[in-house]
Amino acid sequence: MPRKARWVKQQTGGAMTTVSHKTTNIDHRSTTSYAWDEAWGLLSMLLGYLVICAIFLVLLATQARADETMAEIEHLDDVSQGSLLFQNPHGRYLQAPSLNTDVAIHVSGMIVRAKVRQAFKNNSDAWVEGIYVFPLPEDAAVDHMRMQIGERVIEGQIKEREEAKRTYDQARQAGKKSALIEQERPNLFTNSVANIGPHETVTIEIEYQQLLRYEAGQFRLRFPLTITPRYIPGQPIQQEENVSQFNGLGWSVNTNQVPDASRITPPLWQGEGKLNPVSLVIELNAGFPLTELKSPYHAIQTSAHKAIHTITLANEQNYADRDFELSWTPEAAHAPRAALFTEEMGAELYHLLMVLPPQPEQNKTQRLPREVIYIIDTSGSMSGISIQQARQALLLALDRLQPEDTFNVIAFNSSINLLFGQALPASNHNLDAARRYVNTLRANGGTNIRPALEAALNIQNESAALRQVVFLTDGSVGNEAELFSMIHQRLGQSRLFTVGIGSAPNSHFMHKAAQFGRGSFTYIGDVNEVQSKMKALFQKLETPLMRELQADFGNAEAEVYPKRLPDLYAGEPLIISTKTNLNTHTIIISGKRQQSTWQNSIQLDQGMKGRGIGTLWARRKIADLMDQQHEGANKEIIKQQIIATALQHHLVSKHTSLVAVDATPSRPESEAIEQQAMPVNLPHGQVHEKIFGLRPRTATAAPLHLTLGALFLLLTLLLKPRRTIEGA
């Protein structure tokens, strides 16, 4: 303060010093207080002046913004229909980049190697950053990424997630072309591509390795093509002041239950037609003669050359709006019962082992009475074809119950509704009531899974010999991790069977929920499949399973995944990945049936050489580590283990990303870069003939006027004419 006072004295110098010279006996204190008055007057004046300037500026800016908004809308009218536009933060409308996806999948025996090429074409005159949230199979081991600019190819490097993001951001700032692949969920990734020049195309090629599914004598390959919009539970955690910084990448704000919600909710395409044309080529080298090769959801064209089948999509135009599935069945004599693959990497040996236990002898094992709880998802994302499939499936399931069984039905969306207060016997009367109830179910509202699962798992009747929870849903939620932990903690004696419904269910949720629930997963993608798929599920529910599976490696050192072998249901093979230091020894696999034990020994040195077996092992190790985290293991330790494994095997994971950076800048410093989230299609069959925008401006300027009014009022107090000057 003294310093400030001195400064004021010097400033007001002239007049004051002359006064003090004349009155020599004036005491020091009064001079100071006089100066203080003077200073205060001046200060408040300056302050007032500043505040007024600021307020005028704010008013001007508001006015300018409103004017600009009007201008934008006019501008929007000028643009021809059908083109995809986006609005930059300054309110300008630009032609959005478009995206083409080409998928090439190579299948060799049980191993899948796939290349996904995403071509980002910038249709505007500005420099653009494209951000695309896209699905991949939930067990895909993403190990390569390449950025292609014209003829040049830049190979992506694996880095810790934060470091990769920093590298990308720096390149983006510097005007260099760069690409970044991040994992949001095991089946959901983000591809960011920075500095795509005006009317330029940048192609990103992503490669992954995967293991085929083999169940009930059938091989199945799935490739997801779009994302069913996820339900985001919880309270927003973003500070309200920061809301304006909403980055436009996702339609949801982050919440306490889904802290990364804005990253997993890409904008939905609302215009005419579909976006993101897709081409798909599959080269299938099954290794045995096939009896059946089919794609239930897409028309396909096949051609065979020697043992290799080539499959392409039959329709000329295909769009990313539903999962692709291809299934094939080997001739009965060639149906594999076991398979072993080996890969040597340095001193380490990786094995992948598939064993299919023989079908149980069909002696009439006594059918045990069971308690079955059916949970049916009636949320808005199930509307349309999905709810019909779910209702049909549930009606079939009800028919299957025996009088000695007990059952209940829980319907949920944002809230839950129990058919009976508790599980009741499957009498004709009760079943009729249930059928009537199921027929009234309609799809609407949110997907609040937790209370429904809690209700199903909490009311456990201990007398029931077998307790099964059958859960029909599309799993379109963002809080998967929370639900896995809950299932793990509360499962008790129950077993959870998930039934995936719709064109693009969240397969990561389905598989993991069934795994934590020690049950299995069935997928119904089409109304016509309900009958056959539910039949397969009933077989699982009713055929006694194989429990307490064990793999004995003798005295060899082996790191085996999954760490805890799962229970097996009818038609399911056991698949384990191992890393060992010895090649010549036998492993013994054993398990318990209802009345007998089963045992099988396998010579590890008889494996077929296969590429990428180590990659698959690492991917399964990471999945196992993530599971441990859901079960309550220390997050930081798990994270370090995941990073170490992922970096060694060049894998994308929750904590590691692939990043590619061009060597030289291409965007001139004078040009700005526009960020654009690539919209995704609604899954096929979802009822969205009509969707309504939320554009109306639903806030008046009243709060602004009232706040400004109050501010000015405050200012008048500050500027109140005062009489202290009289002393001068």
Partner 1 sequence: MILFRYRTLFFWLALALSLWQLFQGGYLHAKALLAQHLIKHAWHETLEDLQQHKPWPWADTWPVGRLRVPSHNIDLYVLAGDSGRTLAFGPGHRSGTALPGEPGTTLISAHRDTHFSFLKKLTTGDELLFQGINGQWQHYWVSNNIIVHQSDAIADSHENTLALVTCYPFNAIMPGGPLRYVVFAETQKMTPAPKAAEIIKI
Site for partner 1 in 444-463 (CB under 8 A): 444-446, 448, 451-452, 454-455, 458-459
Residue 564 touching partner 1 (CB under 8 A): no
Cis amide linkage into residue 336, ω under 30° from 0: no
Of 290 and 719, nearer to partner 1 (C-beta) is 719
Question: Which positions from 270 through 289 interact with partner 1, judged by CB under 8 A?
Answer: 270
Q: Do the Cβ atoms of 174 and 667 come closer than 8 Å?
A: no
Q: Please, what is the minimum distance in Å from the beta carbon of residue 635 to partner 1?
A: 24
Interface with partner 1 (CB under 8 A), residue from 2, 150, 358, 421: 421
Q: Please, what is the minimum distance in Å from the beta carbon of residue 72 to partner 1?
A: 12
Instruction: Please report which helix (H) or strand (E) contains residue 210, including its range.
Output: strand 201-211
Residue 582: CB atoms within 10 Å: 14
Question: Which positions from 103 through 162 interact with partner 1, judged by CB under 8 A?
Answer: none
Interface with partner 1 (CB under 8 A), residue from 69, 595, 599, 601: 69
d(CA 164, CA 142): 15
Which of 16, 222, 52 has the alpha carbon at shortest distance from 135? Answer: 222
Q: Please, what is the minimum distance in Å from the beta carbon of residue 299 to partner 1?
A: 27
Spell out the residues 6+ positions from residue 472 whose beta carbon is closer than 8 angstroms to its own. 374, 375, 376, 377, 390, 393, 394, 499, 501
Amino acid 536 reads A
d(CA 599, CA 28): 105
Site string for partner 1, 371-410 (x = CB under 8 A): ---------x--xx--------------------------
Of 195 and 255, nearer to partner 1 (C-beta) is 255
Look at residue 35 and give its three-state secondary structure.
helix
Residue 17: CB atoms within 10 Å: 11
d(CA 46, CA 54): 12
Of 527 and 711, nearer to partner 1 (C-beta) is 711
Of 237 and 304, nearer to partner 1 (C-beta) is 237
Q: Please, what is the minimum distance in Å from the beta carbon of residue 583 to partner 1?
A: 52
Residue 710 touching partner 1 (CB under 8 A): yes
Residues facing residue 258 across a β-bridge = none
Counting Cβ atoms within 10 Å, is residue 463 exposed (0-12), middle (13-18) or buried (19+)? exposed
Of 248 and 369, nearer to partner 1 (C-beta) is 248
Judging by DSSP bridges, how do beta strands 218-223 and 213-215 pair with one another?
A: antiparallel
Q: Please, what is the minimum distance in Å from the beta carbon of residue 224 to partner 1?
A: 21
With CB under 8 A as the rule, give the number of residues binding partner 1. Answer: 83
Of 61 and 644, nearer to partner 1 (C-beta) is 61
Q: At 2, give phi and psi (nearest 5°).
A: -55, -40
Instruction: Please report which helix (H) or strand (E) contains residue 703, including its range.
Output: helix 702-719
Q: Please, what is the minimum distance in Å from the beta carbon of residue 130 to partner 1?
A: 16
Question: Which positions from 458 through 497 interact with partner 1, judged by CB under 8 A?
Answer: 458-459
Amino acid 495 reads R
Of 271 and 632, nearer to partner 1 (C-beta) is 271
d(CA 304, CA 283): 10
User: Looking only at Cα atoms, what is the longest distance across the chain?
Assistant: 124
Question: Which positions from 72 through 91 interact with partner 1, judged by CB under 8 A?
Answer: 87
Residue 364 touching partner 1 (CB under 8 A): no
Q: Please, what is the minimum distance in Å from the beta carbon of residue 728 to partner 1?
A: 9
Stretch that binds partner 1, among 16-24, 151-159, 560-568, 712-720 (CB under 8 A): 712-720
Question: Which positions from 29 through 58 interact with partner 1, judged by CB under 8 A?
Answer: 41-42, 45, 48-49, 52, 55
Amino acid 158 reads I
Interface with partner 1 (CB under 8 A), residue from 306, 364, 690, 726: 690
Site string for partner 1, 303-332 (x = CB under 8 A): ------------------------------
Of 25 and 239, nearer to partner 1 (C-beta) is 239
Helix 480-490 to helix 449-458 angle (10° resolution) is 0
Of 89 and 217, nearer to partner 1 (C-beta) is 89
DSSP secondary structure string, 65-102? HHHHHHHHHHHHHHSPTT--EEE-TTS-EEEPPEEEEE
Residue 719 touching partner 1 (CB under 8 A): yes
Of 5 and 243, nearer to partner 1 (C-beta) is 243
Stretch that binds partner 1, among 95-103, 137-145, 437-445, 467-475 (CB under 8 A): 437-445
Which of 503, 715, 650 has the alpha carbon at shortest distance from 141? Answer: 650
Instruction: Please report which helix (H) or strand (E) contains residue 42, including its range.
Output: helix 28-78
Interface with partner 1 (CB under 8 A), residue from 82, 299, 720, 726: 720
Tell me the two tokens of residue 634: 């220390």
Q: Please, what is the minimum distance in Å from the beta carbon of residue 74 to partner 1?
A: 16
Question: Which positions from 13 through 32 interact with partner 1, judged by CB under 8 A?
Answer: none
Stretch that binds partner 1, among 106-114, 184-192, 356-364, 687-695 (CB under 8 A): 687-695
Residue 688 touching partner 1 (CB under 8 A): yes
Spell out the residues 6+ positions from residue 402 whose beta carbon is closer than 8 angstroms to its own. 367, 369, 426
Q: Please, what is the minimum distance in Å from the beta carbon of residue 521 to partner 1?
A: 25
Interface with partner 1 (CB under 8 A), residue from 18, 557, 697, 726: 697
Of 108 and 686, nearer to partner 1 (C-beta) is 686
Residues facing residue 429 across a β-bridge = none
Interface with partner 1 (CB under 8 A), residue from 414, 543, 600, 666: 414
d(CA 540, CA 535): 9
Q: Please, what is the minimum distance in Å from the beta carbon of residue 341 to partner 1?
A: 46
Residues facing residue 580 across a β-bridge = 349, 558
Of 294 and 442, nearer to partner 1 (C-beta) is 442
Helix 428-440 to helix 385-399 angle (10° resolution) is 180
d(CA 19, CA 27): 13
Question: Which positions from 213 through 272 interact with partner 1, judged by CB under 8 A?
Answer: 232, 236, 240, 243-244, 246, 248, 251-253, 267-268, 270
